[in-house]
Amino acid sequence: MMPPSVGPFVYLDYNATTPVDPEVLNELMPYLGGQNFGNPSSSHAKGRHARTAVDEARGRVATLLGCDDTSVFFTSGATESLNWAIKGAAFKQREDSGRNHILISAVEHVCVFEIVKWLASVHGFDCEVCPVDSKGRVDPMKVKSLIRPGKTALVSIQHGNAEVGTVQPIADIVAAVEAVDGNVIVHTDASQSAGKYPLTVESLGHPDLITLAGHKFYAPKGIGALVAPSGVVIEQLMHGGGQEFGERCGTENVPWIVAFGKACELVHDNLAMYMEHMSSMRQLLLEALKEAVTLEAGPGAWDSVRINTPLDDQSCPVLANTLSISIKGMQGADVVKELGDRVGISAGSACHSGEHVLSSVLHAMKVEPSWGLGTLRFSIGRMTTEEEVRRAASVVGGVIAEHLQSDVEEDTFQ
């Protein structure tokens, strides 16, 4: 076994969360610990200053997405945005026209599944799941076939997948839905996409609702947005003092809103550079992993590794930073624990009551458990260095090789 810690920790779990960018931190600090502490609802100078800061941040979000400022509603993060979008659309549609059908994909975040399960069990909504192919991709024509004219209230399909990186053809999905029933509300969860893939209202085909999460692109945890570029009206979740155009009440979290706006500005100004860097680091990681595994476990060892992220399919775009691999016969969750304080990555399985369970995304992609339970997800950051990538590949590759060699030894003595 390798020692518990050799050298500095390498973090390659940026799809889980990101640090606050130094430029973002500099922007928010005067509103957190300085003199800019006013309530945006106050009419005096400090209140007006805070209101201006919120308005400027809203404008930065709108500039990133290419929409009107009034389309942007700040929230506490993706979970709130998803709850508001899905529940709000479902309740409003049923109240206005009796629509009771909700369609989501099989690779949504667990939050979305929990919301629709609640809507189905408590409120009687008819919730349906659209399948995906082996790359985790939704077929727009399949979505089209599942729309029930006059009955479907909402279609909610994520944009970028956190586990394997697959980017859905949201514009084609929007067009497919509108071709059947133009009154269906379309929402996309773009939480994982900002800063890793081009993201504008136009490129998304003008969906009705878009969810964003600040901590996925170098803003603090606890800030996000729900964007409604079409002007669609949905039910409120939070009532109170009339903030956020009267749609999402509660005193604005000015420091975090300022930070979110700055993070959006950085993405708008630097996306091409970010994507090029992360993509090149991912390619280096893949090559270095293969080299490390082959060097330590033999030339045929890489045959026991499957790449889940569809990197070689030009028809299936992926997030710039994500790499998912599966090692046959290995337990990914055990490897993540074994890496401990050396390399931070995620597994494609979870351990419940001592039993390893395949993730819903890999299950939906029909990945065999013998492969899928050995899944490791690497997610690169915009500040990840070549040195970090090579070090991580050496450490993780060594652990993979060790497991593959132990499997060979077990087979030999059986």
Residues noted as catalytic: 351
C-alpha pair distances (Å), 190 with each of 6, 34, 77, 110, 338:
37, 33, 12, 14, 32
Number of Cβ atoms within 10 Å of the Cβ of 156: 25
Yes or no: say if 235 and 88 are a contact pair by the CB < 8 Å rule.
Answer: yes
82-100: b (≥16 Cβ within 10 Å) or e: bbbbbbbbbbbbbeeeebb
Q: Which helix (H) or strand (E) holds 347?
A: strand 346-347
| Residue 327: closest CA among 353, 289, 360 | 289
C-alpha pair distances (Å), 275 with each of 146, 193, 319, 324, 359:
34, 11, 9, 17, 27
Q: What is the dihedral of CA 402, 405, 409, 412, to 10 degrees?
A: 170
DSSP designation for 295: H
**SS3 readout for 232-278:** CCCCCCCCCCCCHHHCCCCCCCHHHHHHHHHHHHHHHHHHHHHHHHH
Number of Cβ atoms within 10 Å of the Cβ of 8: 11
